[in-house]
Amino acid sequence: MSQTSRGLICGAALCLCACASTTFISTWKAPDAHDINPIGKKVATLVIANDPAQRRSAEVYLANDLTNRGAQGIPSYTLIGLKDPNVDYARTRFKEAGIEGVVVMRMVGHDQKVTVTPGGYYSGSAYRTFGSYYSSYYSPYVTTMTYSPPSVRTDTEVSIETLIYSLNSDQLLWAATSRTTNPESLASLVDEVADAVANEVVKQGLIAR
């Protein structure tokens, strides 16, 4: 693997802490991608979104996350704008800026999961064992029953596709689809996915621990 390719993949794998609410549906890695050194590499962040404001914010969050961990994260909109330029223009602008690779994020699913817990009557501790129940039968105290109303819980599940490309070789080095439950905000979603991606990349041996 070339030094440029190594510089690319490490940019998305800088954070070593996993997030409890983010899990992976699938992952893939290029067979020759390993032993990456991330420090100082320029990596563009590209978020595919219909809303320009959301795209801009997400690219900044992801770029800052990479920069805070040693790479040089650069939001792609600062180089190619927000109007989806053709690939030749984007490639030229990235090359002029010294970009070694691109980390792409795209939302591929947004679902609501509803969990209903039925209510019911529940007895006191006298019903928990045969001995306590048998004794309570002869007790002068009446065992009370309590009622628990039904409850409804709604969880938001967001699925994100993450792709890591080598710019010079135009090669896909790593890909994954993740699911995050109940993200608090766009910033927290990007941070959680970036953290989970980083942990998974290290786990798969794409960069040195």
Instruction: Give me the half-sphere count of Cα atoms (radius 13 Å) on the Cβ side of residue 77.
Output: 18
Residue 52: strand, helix, or coil: helix
Over its length of 209 residues, how does the chain's per-residue pLDDT go in tens digits? 555 444 444 454 443 344 448 999 999 989 887 776 777 889 999 999 999 999 999 999 999 988 887 889 999 999 999 987 889 999 999 999 999 989 999 999 988 888 887 776 665 555 566 666 666 666 555 455 566 777 888 888 999 999 999 888 888 989 999 999 999 899 999 999 998 998 888 788 766 56
Q: What tokens does 85 get?
A: 């330029």
Q: The tokens 């090359």 sit on which residue?
A: 95
| Domains of the chain from N-terminus onward | 3-114+156-203 (3.40.50.10070), 116-151 (no CATH)
- Determine the Cα–Cα distance for residues 200 and 192; give it in Å rounded to an integer: 12
pTM as predicted? 0.75
Directed axis angle between helix 52-67 and helix 186-203, to 10°? 40
Q: Bridge-partner residues for 42, per DSSP?
A: 72
Distances from the Cα of 118 to the Cα of 56, 114, 124, 161, angstroms: 44, 13, 19, 36
